[in-house]
Amino acid sequence: MAINLVLLDVDGTLTVDRGNLALDPDAIRVIQRVKDKVKIGLVTGNALIVAEALARYIGLGDDSPIIAENGCIVKVGSTIIRLSNLSAREVVDELIRRLGLRPTYQYQCRYLDITIDVVGDDYGVVGRIKDELRRMGLGDLYDVETSGYAVHVRPRDCGKAKAIAKMCELMGVDCSTVAFIGDSDIDAEAFGVVGLGVAVGNATKRAKEKAKLVTRSPSGKGVAEFLTSLVNET
């Protein structure tokens, strides 16, 4: 299978482990070594401003294609598209007030997918938020998921799968020639859109089930393993 574009999740995928915020140095070294041989972009739950800074600092450059806010925002070159007209901002403000939750450090930088900080049982918090949204009559408008780093509340009409398809359209790239590497339940939905969905070795059960390939190594070292293998095959 010819791969023309590799898309990387960040948290839990480019980091040293799931739940850790430190970028894996092995992954960064391999990315810098192969970026001239294969186009690399980011697909992340992070805010766009954070994703842009990450792309620059890990050596991808300002022209790296980026999907931010779990598929709510697509950036290709100078084109930035928001894939929903609905924001979760006011809803999450109310959820924080009602449930005694707290925002993440990226809260003020986000537009559509709004994040809640979680310490402890994030799946339990997801359940509480879903119940509260139903009581508010908004259960059909928003998806609530955990990335392992935060709980995300986003408009239901956007997501990583839809965003990758839009990115490919903007770039003139066939989705069947794209590989996407991730680690979480949020990434699993997008594996079906690309030619090669790759789960790192310590990914969630759902991500592994949906992936066509699972690396032997975890998180960033799994990224390094895959990219090295890909370039060696071409």
> Using one digit for the tens of pLDDT, what is the confidence trace for 170-216?
999 999 999 999 999 989 999 999 999 999 999 999 999 999 999 99
> Using one digit for the tens of pLDDT, what is the confidence trace for 22-79?
999 999 999 999 999 999 999 999 999 999 999 999 999 888 999 999 999 999 999 9
Chosen domain end from 155, 181, 210: 155
Residues 72 and 166 both lie in one domain: yes
Instruction: Please report the pLDDT score of residue 96 as a whole number.
Output: 96
Residues 175 and 76 both lie in one domain: yes
Residues 9 and 78 both lie in one domain: yes
Which residue of the set 9, 122, 185, 187 is catalytic? Answer: 9
φ and ψ at 142, to 5 degrees? Answer: -130, 145
Q: In percent, how much of the chain has pLDDT > 90?
A: 90
Instruction: Please report the pLDDT score of residue 1 as a whole number.
Output: 63
Residues 113 and 65 both lie in one domain: no
Place of tokens 């041989």: 37
As a whole number, the mean pLDDT across the chain is: 95
Residues 104 and 219 both lie in one domain: no
> Using one digit for the tens of pLDDT, what is the confidence trace for 64-77?
999 999 999 999 99
Amino acid (1-letter code) at residue 145? E
Instruction: Name the pTM for this structure.
Output: 0.94
DSSP 58: T
* Residue 234 pLDDT level (bands cut at 50, 70, 90): low
Range of the domain at 49: 5-83+159-233
9 belongs to the catalytic site: yes
Residues 49 and 75 both lie in one domain: yes
- Give how many domains the chain has, as a whole number: 2
Residues 124 and 184 both lie in one domain: no
- CATH number of the domain at 67, please: 3.40.50.1000
Residues 72 and 118 both lie in one domain: no
What sign has the CA pseudo-torsion 165, 57, 51, 224?
A: positive
Instruction: Please report the pLDDT score of residue 61 as a whole number.
Output: 84
The pLDDT of 148-169, averaged and rounded, is 95
> Using one digit for the tens of pLDDT, what is the confidence trace for 104-154?
999 999 999 999 998 777 889 999 999 999 999 999 999 999 888 899 999
Residues 176 and 78 both lie in one domain: yes
Q: What are the CA-CA distances from residue 33 to residues 7, 39, 121 (Å)?
A: 16, 12, 39
Tokens of 225: 């393993």
Residues 76 and 129 both lie in one domain: no
- Cβ neighbours of residue 75 closer than 8 Å, sequence gap 6 or more: 48, 51, 52, 65, 66, 67, 68, 81
